[in-house]
Amino acid sequence: MTQRIAIVTGANGGLGESMCKALIQQDRKVVGTYIPGHEEAANSWQESMKQQGFDITMKAVDVADYSACKALLEEVENELGPVDILVNNAGITRDAPLKKMQPEQWQAVIQTNLNSMFNMCQPVFEAMCNRGWGRIVNISSLNGEKGQFGQANYSAAKAGIYGFSKAIAQEGARKGVTVNSVSPGYIDTPMVRQVPEKVLDMIVEGIPVGRLGQPEEIARAVAFLTDDNAGFITGTNMSVNGGQYMA
């Protein structure tokens, strides 16, 4: 069988790297995306992955821009073939308590974390359905499940991912296309390391497993849900949060 093509947005971010590695270990051809203007970082990351034996094609795209996403997906299909697996992982934080949150902070997070789901899924969804096979995993968050002080924007965007995923899971179900979300808790990544130390210590105290998660622990969930044998799992959410929130 020909190798399936997987796209991971935000590939060179804290969680993306592990996802790319896990998908390659599942014999996928992986295309990663990075933020336009960050070519140098993306190139050196790609080179270091190559040295570790992971060959990843890198493409720049702003996931907040529908036309750019559509163009990127067409480019990948023309150069490599149909996209069978899509992992919408790219995301940002602009944390502030609501009283201080500016409209720009709200818009940026909704645009990048929620509208990106539409921007990346819409251009490939019909073709996946027509081919009778597809796997979409949308990365949400613990804080979309429970809300988080200082994250009205992020919690709203991440909660929106559940409704979006469940709606299109129904549209894809009879066509062999599964759509699920994964909700990481606090994982040892640069994004989480930005949280003030005192606040983070308090958060870790509230994690029953007693530690931050590791990126590989999220990648494992993504690999599971995108597996060829995962065709009966759709419209669900997998929480990977060390027991911090049990829905």
The contact set with ligand CAA (CB under 6 A) reads: 93, 95-97, 100, 141-143, 148-151, 154, 184-186, 191-192, 195-196, 199
* Minimum distance of ligand CAA from residue 180's CB (angstroms): 17
Specify whether 154 is catalytic.
yes
* Minimum distance of ligand CAA from residue 186's CB (angstroms): 5
- Pick the catalytic residue: 34, 66, 154, 186? 154
Which residues lie closer than 8 Å to 46 by C-beta, 6 or more apart?
12, 32, 56, 58
How far apart are alpha carbons 166 and 89 in whole angstroms? 17
How far apart are alpha carbons 16 and 182 in whole angstroms? 13
Q: How many CB atoms lie within 10 A of CB 48?
A: 12
| Residue number with CB closer to ligand CAA (62 or 95) | 95
Q: Which residue spans within 172-226 are E strands per DSSP?
A: 177-184
| Residue number with CB closer to ligand CAA (54 or 245) | 245
Residue nearest to ligand CAA (CB): 150
* Minimum distance of ligand CAA from residue 86's CB (angstroms): 20
SS3 at position 150: coil
How far apart are alpha carbons 23 and 25 in whole angstroms? 5
* Minimum distance of ligand CAA from residue 20's CB (angstroms): 19
Contact 243, 218 (CB under 8 A): no
Residues recognised as catalytic: 154
